[in-house]
Amino acid sequence: MCDAFVGTWKLVSSENFDDYMKEVGVGFATRKVAGMAKPNVIITVNGDMITIRSESTFKNTEIAFELGQEFDEVTADDRKVKSTITLDGGALV
């Protein structure tokens, strides 16, 4: 199911990330620091549970979830949100 995603991934580039952070209310200083981060993302699967860990010099975060199930998430800028992640056309959305 998600085995193709398992492994360690390195961010190479991101498009419009500053605009996205501005839109969701991230402050100027945090946006500038976060925009420079190039995290490693480690994805593991244990049964139905998927874990995504992001490691950078800025901050480390981790989420664990089952596909299609809403879960509580604390974002890298400490916002508390509800998220649902699905598999759509071979992509985690």
Q: Where are the domains of the chain?
A: 3-11+39-92
Nearest Cα to Cα of residue 61 among 75, 50, 72 = 75
Q: What does the pLDDT read at residue 72?
A: 97
Q: What does the pLDDT read at residue 69?
A: 98
Q: How many of the other CB atoms lie within 10 Å of CB of 16?
A: 9
Q: What does the pLDDT read at residue 32?
A: 87
- Is residue 19 scored above 80 in pLDDT? yes
State the Cα torsion 41-45-46-50 to the nearest 10°. Answer: 70
Q: What does the pLDDT read at residue 1?
A: 67
Q: What is the second-level CATH architecture of the domain 3-11+39-92?
A: Beta Barrel (2.40)
Q: How many of the other CB atoms lie within 10 Å of CB of 5?
A: 17
pLDDT digits (tens, 9 = 90+) for 30-87: 888 888 888 999 999 999 999 999 998 888 999 999 999 999 999 888 889 999 999 9
Burial bucket for residue 72 (CB in 10 Å: 0-12, 13-18, 19+): exposed
